[in-house]
Amino acid sequence: MANLKDIRKRIATVKSTQKITSAMKMVAAAKLRRAQEAAEAARPYADKMNQVIGGLATRTDPTMHPLLEARSAESNALVIIVSSDRGLCGGYNANIFRATDKFVRDRTASGLQLQVATIGRKSRQYFRKRPVEVDRDFPGVIGHVSYAQAKAIGGYATERFVSGEVDKVYLVYNRFISAIQYETEIEALLPLSLEDIVADDATADAISEYIFEPDEASLLAKMLPAHIEVKVLHALLEAEASEHSARMTAMDNATTNANDMIDSLTLTYNRARQAYITKELVEIVSGAEALQG
């Protein structure tokens, strides 16, 4: 028979855990609202910059800029991975690592040498134990996303590419879709492709009527590095919103599971208590009959 005291202790432990998971769910929901607003506000800016750069490219020779240089022989690549600092967010980090591992295996099998740069404590811990070179870590980014941090990361990627140390740069992050859904993205960050930077007809026509000072080529040279920084910032904001979404969902599931476990333990406790009382009654009745007979 189960010990009643042990069952009571277990029920109390699960109730305490449930309070924690419920509080974490509420905190994640509050943070998600702010992170979602920031991520969604950044999307039109990134799209408009795409269009402006696309319009400028139609008025100049875009192949003159090193960030647009598509190298025929690719031997080295850099993968920048955005994970979380903390756990308890369901499959958020596992999805990132699974996609990155597959990507690394496929590329190294074709002879491409890969290095990784990590953003987030979980990715730093994970890839230090993997047979891949960790070139750099960016601590303190997750939870404190700013343009200054995106500029530092974008500048690092640009410097590695322009210097010829790597021939391609990829960015791996989770893109926010809704409060209950996100999607792992592996985005080619460098070199920039004009196929992805396209201006609509209205923007192209408007830009064609402008007179630029300085000239279009100089302006494009200034805007392309900024475009990289905006893409990194956008990815960081999407990842942050996805993390809060994943944590809120995970804590909601944990709270529901704790409630189911409390119900199950309470039922077990009541059955054990009923059996214990029945046993005592049988012993009393048996004792009374023995005295009478």
In the residue annotation, 10 being an active-site residue is answered as: no
- How, if at all, do strands 76-82 and 113-119 pair? parallel
Across 252-272, b (16+ Cβ under 10 Å) vs e yields bebbeebeebbeebeeebeeb
Q: Which residues are paired to 187 by β-bridges?
A: 171
How many Å apart are CA 7 and CA 19, to the nearest integer?
19
Instruction: Answer yes or no: are the C-beta atoms of 145 and 237 closer than 8 Å.
Output: yes
Torsion angle (degrees, nearest 10) of CA 111, 79, 136, 241 = -160
Phi, psi dihedral angles at 48 (to 5 degrees)? -65, -40
How many Å apart are CA 128 and CA 123, to the nearest integer?
8
Instruction: Answer yes or no: are the C-beta atoms of 158 and 228 closer than 8 Å.
Output: yes
Q: Which of these is catalytic: 32, 57, 89, 197?
A: 89
Instruction: Answer yes or no: are the C-beta atoms of 54 and 198 closer than 8 Å.
Output: yes
How many Å apart are CA 56 and CA 218, to the nearest integer?
10
Would you state the structure tokens that stand for residue 19, as one six-digit string? 């309070």
**What does the longest C-alpha to C-alpha distance in the chain come to?**
117
CB atoms inside a 10 Å sphere around CB 137: 16
CB atoms inside a 10 Å sphere around CB 85: 16
- How, if at all, do strands 76-82 and 168-178 pair? parallel
Catalytic residue numbers read 89
